[in-house]
């Protein structure tokens, strides 16, 4: 079955777990931008706990009236350096940080003007890392309720807000991602970016997806 998602920044692990077994990935490319979502932020694990990394966008106060695919990144803020330093501090000691660091750094320093382009480049990189060979397409127009019943609509299924109580068919369902060894803490922390899994498990990361 094809699956429909918005395009997140450094997507959560559950995003990729949903792609396992899907026929194709359909990305929403005609929506209006929404604040406080994974479209421009991700969650990583640091020594101080879970930390959000947010990509600043141009005219952020008015950005909800802008198409997500046309939203510009605000490079007047030195966020690339800040994000990279935070990732180095959080994951520099993890088993596979150096394995992926150069590839990721090359993506960041390209400084694509649009958020959608940055997220898409990162997405294709992660699909290769996880060995998920799945066709990627884009919606031709926006529908609040997708008209094709054969497409599983997962838009806004994932949210950086506090997860709902654990129940089936939600990202808080523990069956979506098998626990793995993390850099910090004794208890497994779910709902993190795919970066956490990759830096911990490397080429074996795909086997932890449901």
Site of tokens 């899907």: 22
Q: What is the pLDDT of residue 178?
A: 85
Q: What is the pLDDT of residue 186?
A: 85
Please give the Cα distance from 19 to 115 (Å, whole number): 22
**DSSP secondary structure of 42-110:** EEEEETTEEEEEE--BTTGGGGGGSBGGGPBB-TTS-HHHHHHHHHHHHHTTSTTHHHHHHHHHHHHHT
Q: What is the pLDDT of residue 161?
A: 78
Q: What is the pLDDT of residue 61?
A: 62
Which residues of the chain carry a pLDDT beneath 50? none
- Answer whether 55's CB lies under 8 Å from 193's CB: no
Q: What is the pLDDT of residue 5?
A: 98
Please give the Cα distance from 190 to 193 (Å, whole number): 9
Q: What is the pLDDT of residue 173?
A: 54
- Answer whether 115's CB lies under 8 Å from 74's CB: no
Q: Bridge partners of 137?
A: 26
Q: Bridge partners of 44?
A: 51
User: Residues 51, 75, 200, 96: what is their CA dihedral angle, to the nearest 10 degrees?
Assistant: -150
Q: What is the pLDDT of residue 185?
A: 84
Q: What is the pLDDT of residue 29?
A: 97
Q: What is the pLDDT of residue 59?
A: 75
Q: What is the pLDDT of residue 169?
A: 60
Q: What is the pLDDT of residue 65?
A: 81
């Amino acid at each position: 079955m094809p699956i429909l998602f918005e395009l997140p920044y450094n997507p959560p692990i559950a995003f990729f777990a949903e792609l396992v077994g899907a026929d194709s990935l359909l990305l929403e490319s005609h929506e209006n931008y929404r604040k406080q979502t994974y479209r421009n932020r991700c969650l990583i694990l640091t020594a101080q706990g879970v930390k959000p990394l947010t990509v600043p966008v141009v005219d952020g106060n008015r950005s909800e009236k802008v198409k997500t695919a046309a939203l510009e990144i605000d490079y007047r803020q030195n966020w690339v350096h800040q994000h990279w330093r935070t990732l180095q501090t959080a994951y520099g000691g993890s088993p596979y940080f150096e394995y992926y660091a150069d590839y990721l750094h090359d993506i960041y320093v390209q400084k694509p003007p649009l958020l959608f382009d940055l997220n898409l480049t990162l997405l294709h990189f992660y699909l290769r890392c996880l060995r998920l060979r799945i066709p990627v397409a884009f919606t031709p127009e926006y529908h609040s309720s997708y008209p094709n019943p054969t497409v599983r609509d997962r838009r806004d299924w994932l949210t950086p807000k506090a997860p709902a109580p654990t129940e089936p068919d939600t990202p808080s369902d523990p069956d979506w991602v098998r626990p793995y060894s993390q850099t910090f803490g004794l208890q497994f922390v779910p709902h993190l970016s795919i970066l956490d899994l990759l830096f911990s498990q490397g080429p074996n990361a795909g086997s932890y997806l449901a």
